[in-house]
Amino acid sequence: MPRARSPFLFLAMFVAAGGCRPGAVPAASGDVSDGTFVGPADSPDAPPPDPAGSPPAGAASREEGAPAATAAAERFRWTESPTLEAIPDAPVAGEVHGAPFPVAQVLFETGRHEWRMYFLEKPLPDPTAAIEGMRFLRVNLPSDPAVGSVQQHPLAYGGALFYVDVPGAPGDFTLWTADNAWVLELTEWNVRPWDPAGPEVQVAGRAAGRVAVCYRGGGNYRNAWVAGRFAGAIVRYTREPRFDRGCPAAPTGG
């Protein structure tokens, strides 16, 4: 699978497509956050530093690492219909390509069409940093998050993407889209409203809950999943939360 030459060109096309078409698409390693906040920290579009006194970037389990992934793997198995009852009472972690997928940080942010939830294999250097240089799983939430809410996605294509290494191709990475099913319960959503006078990227608060995401494999891609509990997840605005929830048209040019 050839490597993409420009992650920025690829992202522009993928945002326009909205993830509406199936397939694993090659992408260069680096900035891949689907257009909501992309670019190196010193770019003109980079957000301001986290305000003084803000809590540290929320991590799912920065200290537990491999033991957390092992604990989750021992208590969770891939299924077409994940339930809240099946979520392990352990820090969120996962599996991809048959190997542990550590979740160092959970993040919620506003996209063009919906709230998005990210599972990052490395913690961000600060809550407003770009998502770059790491694998991640992203799911799009069909409704706005709220404390006590439960959201579900039955096994179907769309609404999620996995930025992963290509099996058997060291150094190559891809945006893998596939059938997925998930369930999310939020036990905390401590988030202040968007500030019209503030910067475009705003750290809004923190969230906690439990989640299970099952990602269906195919070909060289094995079934993958992420499951467990999380606390102190970063919630940030990367744009004003005014959503067009429809699926955009596919790109017309290369």
* Spatial separation of the C-alpha atoms in residues 240 and 252, rounded to whole Å: 27
Q: Is residue 13 part of a domain?
A: no
**Which pLDDT does position 67 carry in this prediction?**
63
Q: Is residue 146 part of a domain?
A: yes
**Which pLDDT does position 83 carry in this prediction?**
97
Number of domains the chain contains: 1
Q: Is residue 174 part of a domain?
A: no
Other CB atoms within 10 Å distance of the CB of residue 148: 10
Q: Cα 164 from chain centroid?
A: 12
Q: Is residue 226 part of a domain?
A: yes
Residue 119 is encoded by which pair of tokens? Answer: 């599972």
Q: Cα 240 from chain centroid?
A: 19
> Which residues lie closer than 8 Å to 179 by C-beta, 6 or more apart?
155, 156, 157, 215, 216
Query: Which phi and psi (to 5°) does residue 185 adopt?
Result: -120, 130
Using alpha carbons, list the distances in angstroms from residue 207 to 32, 62, 149, 191, 200.
23, 16, 12, 8, 20
Other CB atoms within 10 Å distance of the CB of residue 221: 19
**Which pLDDT does position 15 carry in this prediction?**
38
Q: Is residue 201 part of a domain?
A: yes
Query: Which phi and psi (to 5°) does residue 48 adopt?
Result: -70, 160
- The pTM (predicted TM-score) of the whole model is 0.73
Q: Which residues of the chain have pLDDT under 50?
A: 1-22, 25-65, 248-254
Q: Is residue 21 part of a domain?
A: no
Domain of residue 65: give its range: 55-156+179-237
**Which pLDDT does position 244 carry in this prediction?**
72
**Which pLDDT does position 247 carry in this prediction?**
55
Q: Is residue 185 part of a domain?
A: yes
Q: Is residue 147 part of a domain?
A: yes
**Which pLDDT does position 75 carry in this prediction?**
81
* Spatial separation of the C-alpha atoms in residues 84 and 211, rounded to whole Å: 7
Residue 35 is encoded by which pair of tokens? Answer: 């257009």
Give the gyration radius of the chain's Cα atoms: 17
Paired with 230 in beta bridges are: 209
**Which pLDDT does position 243 carry in this prediction?**
82
Ordered DSSP codes for 109-149: EE-SSSEEEEEESS--SSTT----SS-EEEEE-SS---TT-
- What residue has token string 């596919």? 250
In the chain, beta strands by DSSP E: 23-27, 93-96, 99-101, 105-110, 115-120, 136-140, 150-157, 160-165, 173-177, 179-191, 202-215, 224-237
